[in-house]
């Protein structure tokens, strides 16, 4: 597909700017990442539509708007460190990387972790992908300036806030009703206190315990 840049431009305009995302660095990152290379060849034509898409193992690449919105909420400056929980296709990680962040990403399904790692490497996105479900034995110590959870969380896990650097931000789709979540942004101020705000309603695949495969 040679015309992907115009498809990306249109996606940004019609799906993302239209819904109120204004951060120019986020919009630029969303224009620059070749989303069609994060889905199966058979789905490439659909890669830019306003929807999540299947990536195998019953998982999905998130809807473009949701990726942009969560990235905007993280409020990243270049050079900051980010931990993602739920690598999936690696697309969100690539967008964070395009924002100039140093990205570590955890994925509980070995085959997805492997294919995302290979894809990100091949495209020149420097992301550390770890086969991990976030349990104490397999998670990185931090601290991180940002933590982004890209699967539906039944509850806030304490360690997510625990690895935040002072001034750090956590973005997580937290369950607020059966089958539905709402984005929570938690900022840790320089005194170590949390400031929580609620944002978009959304629907993610579930955050699960235990590593699979490998």
Cβ–Cβ < 8 Å for 184, 174: yes
State the minimum distance, in angstroms, from the CB of residue 85 to ligand SAH. 5
d(CA 44, CA 162): 39
- Residue number with CB closer to ligand SAH (151 or 172): 151
- Residue number with CB closer to ligand SAH (133 or 145): 133
d(CA 34, CA 48): 10
State the minimum distance, in angstroms, from the CB of residue 166 to ligand SAH. 25
Backbone angles phi, psi at 85, to 5 degrees: -115, 110
Catalytic residue status for 62: yes
Q: Which of 6, 23, 51, 62 is catalytic?
A: 62
Cβ–Cβ < 8 Å for 136, 188: no
d(CA 122, CA 18): 32
d(CA 74, CA 55): 25
State the minimum distance, in angstroms, from the CB of residue 191 to ligand SAH. 30
Task: Provide the token pair at 134.
Answer: 């976030």
State the minimum distance, in angstroms, from the CB of residue 104 to ligand SAH. 12
Backbone angles phi, psi at 140, to 5 degrees: -75, 155
The total of other beta-carbon atoms located within 10 Å of residue 168's CB is 23
State the minimum distance, in angstroms, from the CB of residue 212 to ligand SAH. 8
- Residue number with CB closer to ligand SAH (195 or 203): 203
Binding site for ligand SAH (CB under 6 A): 59-62, 85-86, 88-89, 91-92, 106-109, 112, 133-134, 150-151, 205, 207-208
- Residue number with CB closer to ligand SAH (138 or 189): 138
- Residue number with CB closer to ligand SAH (123 or 205): 205
H or E element at residue 130: strand 127-131
Q: Is the peptide bond before 143 cis (omega within 30 degrees of 0)?
A: yes
Please identify every residue annotated as catalytic. Answer: 62
């Amino acid at each position: 597909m040679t015309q992907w840049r115009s498809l990306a431009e249109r996606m940004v305009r019609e799906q993302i700017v239209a819904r109120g995302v204004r951060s120019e660095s986020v919009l630029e990152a969303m224009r620059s990442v070749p989303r069609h290379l994060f889905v199966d060849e058979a789905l490439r034509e659909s890669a830019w539509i306003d929807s999540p898409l299947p990536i195998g193992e019953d998982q999905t690449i998130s809807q473009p708007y949701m990726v942009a919105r969560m990235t905007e909420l993280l409020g990243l400056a270049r050079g900051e460190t980010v931990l993602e929980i739920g690598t999936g296709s690696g697309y969100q990680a690539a967008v964070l990387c395009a924002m100039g962040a140093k990205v570590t990403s955890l994925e509980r399904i070995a085959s997805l972790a492997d294919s995302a790692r290979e894809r990100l490497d091949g495209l020149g996105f420097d992301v550390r992908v770890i086969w991990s479900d976030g349990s104490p034995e397999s998670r990185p110590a931090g601290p991180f300036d940002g933590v982004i959870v890209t699967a539906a969380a039944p509850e806030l896990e304490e360690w997510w806030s625990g690895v935040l650097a002072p001034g750090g931000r956590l973005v997580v789709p937290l369950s607020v009703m059966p089958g539905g979540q709402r984005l929570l942004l938690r900022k840790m101020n320089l005194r170590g206190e949390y400031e929580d705000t609620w944002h978009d309603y959304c629907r993610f695949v579930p955050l699960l315990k235990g590593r699979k495969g490998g």
